[in-house]
């Protein structure tokens, strides 16, 4: 019996061009937020270093990288064998 699902279904992110479009859109949005931080606007900040240009963008990036690195180390502690629930 032949199966009707012989052809593997392709999704829109399977195409490398679409992945590149998503990456470029993300870069554009991030650059826009970083540029917006350079223009003066009313801020309610607590410390002087928070007023440095681009501080929020840099802080967000460093925090994200730190979370990813922490998660990779935490994975080593929490990882279970493949047949753990069997």
Each residue of 24-73: pLDDT tens digit? 999 999 888 888 877 777 778 888 888 887 788 889 889 999 999 999 99
| Residue 29, pLDDT score | 93
Residue with the bigger pLDDT between 17 and 45: it is 17
Distance CA 66, CA 13 (A): 27
Distance CA 35, CA 33 (A): 5
| Residue 74, pLDDT score | 95
Angle, helices 55-78 vs 16-36, to 10°: value is 130
Residue 2 has pLDDT above 60, yes or no: no
| Residue 6, pLDDT score | 55
- Tell me if 51 sits within 8 A of 43, measured CB to CB: yes
Distance CA 1, CA 59 (A): 58
Residue with the bigger pLDDT between 37 and 6: it is 37
């Amino acid at each position: 019996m032949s199966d009707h699902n012989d052809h593997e279904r392709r999704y829109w992110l399977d195409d490398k061009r679409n992945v590149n479009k998503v990456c470029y859109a993300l870069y554009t949005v991030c650059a826009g937020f970083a540029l917006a931080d350079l223009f003066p606007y009313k801020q309610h900040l607590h410390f002087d270093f928070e007023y440095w240009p681009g501080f929020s963008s840099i802080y967000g990036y460093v925090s994200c990288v730190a979370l990813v690195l922490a998660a990779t180390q935490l994975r080593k502690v929490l990882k279970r064998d493949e047949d753990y629930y069997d």
